[in-house]
Amino acid sequence: MPVRFISAGAGRGREASTSPPTTSPAIVRWWRPPALCIPARIPSYRIHTSCGVQSTSSAYGSESVPMPDTRSADFDLLKWLDPETQAAFLRAVRHRDYRAGQIIYIEGDHGDEMFRIAHGSVKLSLSREDGRHFVLLHLEESGCFGDSSLVDGGERPQTAQASSDTRLQVLDKAAFDQLREHHPSFSYAVMRLLAFQMRSAAFHYVNRNLDNLQTRVVSRLLQMLPPADAAGSAITLRLSQADLALMVGGSRQHVNRVIKRLEGLGLVSVSYGAISTSDRDALAALLRGDCH
């Protein structure tokens, strides 16, 4: 099977060589990077097979970085609360409506509220003065955000914007502190939410910097696609290719080529502002490298 060898330094914006490395593959496969330069469990190289799927090897043999779910339900604070605390949370919040495109808060703002999506969708992003922009997450119903500023009193770490007409449940700092004081499970739930956010951020950092573009696109789709209602039914993700490109760190044109390739394989279908699949398992097999 034809293979493409890519060193650990190859990545976004750099074309991989189609020739084997000058060192034999066996030596490359088991080369251990100096402990002080690269964490010991970072893969030292990547192989891309002709089916376009990446497998990863390191000094410890084949392994993969666990892929956390990033569906909105996995960012729902309420799933870690007991029924009494859930009821107290819902009594404490008030509702606020945002139109599609409206800013909820801006990176660097002072934060004294956290939010849970009652319906609609919210985009969390970061930007720099030179125009560079990165979409961190796309949350839908039940997703929670804005909590970190209530925990540490720091500035908002990202910008939140309504992606569609959205209703939010808003919990202010006073109600947040009361829930922590009177309901021990609330503090535990906040810790779980922050830990999940940290794990998700760590995964996306590695994924964005070490994986090829097709792997980044497919893994993002798998993380964000909601579960199917029934076997074989279509699953639709409301996400533009422009936002997907900002999430995975690729140009819109290159991401479009990957999506077209997935369409050609019959794995996804695309409509305006949405990507659908009826075979989530096949997408997962592509990511694993089951190219039968």
| Listed residue (73, 83, 75) closest to 114, CA to CA | 75
Same domain, 197 and 221: no
CATH number of residue 270's parent domain: 1.10.10.10
Cβ atoms of residues 23 and 45 within 8 Å: no
Question: What distance in Å separates the CA atoms of residue 182 and residue 56, rounded to the nearest whole number?
Answer: 48
Three-state secondary structure call for residue 217: helix
Interval 100-141: pLDDT, tens: 999 999 999 999 999 999 999 999 998 888 777 788 888 889
Reported for 86-94, long-range contacts at CB under 8 A and 24+ positions apart, including other chains, are 88/179, 88/182, 88/183, 88/186, 89/171, 89/179, 89/186, 90/169, 92/171, 92/175, 92/178, 92/179, 93/169, 93/170, 93/171, 93/175, 94/169, 94/170
Domain count, the chain: 3
User: What pLDDT is attached to residue 172?
Assistant: 97
> Are 153 and 266 contained in the same domain?
no
Shared domain for 170 and 224, answered yes or no, is no
pLDDT for position 229:
59
Range of the domain at 102: 72-203
% of the chain with per-residue pLDDT over 70:
71
Q: How far is CA 11 from CA 62, 128, 214, 261, in A?
A: 20, 22, 12, 20
* Token reading at 95: 């509702």
9 with 59, same domain? Answer: yes
| Domain finish residue from 64, 84, 109 | 64
Q: Mark which of 152, 184, 203 sits at the end of a domain.
A: 203
- For 162-205, the DSSP string reads ESSSEEEEEEEHHHHHHHHHH-HHHHHHHHHHHHHHHHHHHHHH
Q: What is the pLDDT of residue 120?
A: 92
pLDDT in tens, the chain (292 residues): 444 434 444 443 433 444 444 444 443 333 333 333 333 333 332 323 333 333 333 332 334 444 544 454 578 999 999 999 999 999 999 999 999 999 999 999 999 999 999 999 999 998 888 777 788 888 889 999 999 999 999 999 999 999 899 999 999 999 999 999 999 999 999 999 999 888 888 877 777 777 888 988 888 888 777 766 555 677 888 888 888 888 888 888 999 999 999 999 889 888 888 888 888 888 888 887 754 4
- Residues 124 and 228: their CA atoms lie apart, in Å, by 25
- Name residue 196's amino acid: F
Residue 88: phi and psi, rounded to 5, are -65, -40
Any idea what the CATH number is for the domain that residue 148 is in?
Answer: 2.60.120.10
Q: What is the pLDDT, as a whole number, of residue 95? A: 98
pLDDT at 122: 93
Residues 47 and 79 grouped into a single domain: no
Same domain, 153 and 219: no
One domain, residues 127 and 197: yes
Separation of alpha carbons 105 and 117, rounded Å:
14
Q: What is the DSSP letter of 32?
A: P
Tokens of 229: 């209602």
Q: Are residues 255 and 146 in the same domain?
A: no
Question: What phi and psi, each to the nearest 5 degrees, are found at residue 221?
Answer: -60, -45
Tell me if residue 12 falls in helix, strand or coil: coil
Are residues 196 and 79 part of one domain? yes
Q: Tell me how far apart the alpha carbons of residues 118 and 95 are, in angstroms, rounded to a whole number.
A: 9
Choose the final residue of a domain: 19, 46, 64.
Answer: 64
Asked if 221 and 131 sit in the same domain, the reply is no
Q: Are 97 and 188 in a shared domain? A: yes
Residues 40 and 161 in one domain: no
Q: How far apart are CA 243 and CA 123, in angstroms?
A: 9
Q: Which amino acid is at 261?
A: R
Amino acid sitting at position 178 = Q
Please give the pLDDT value at position 247: 82
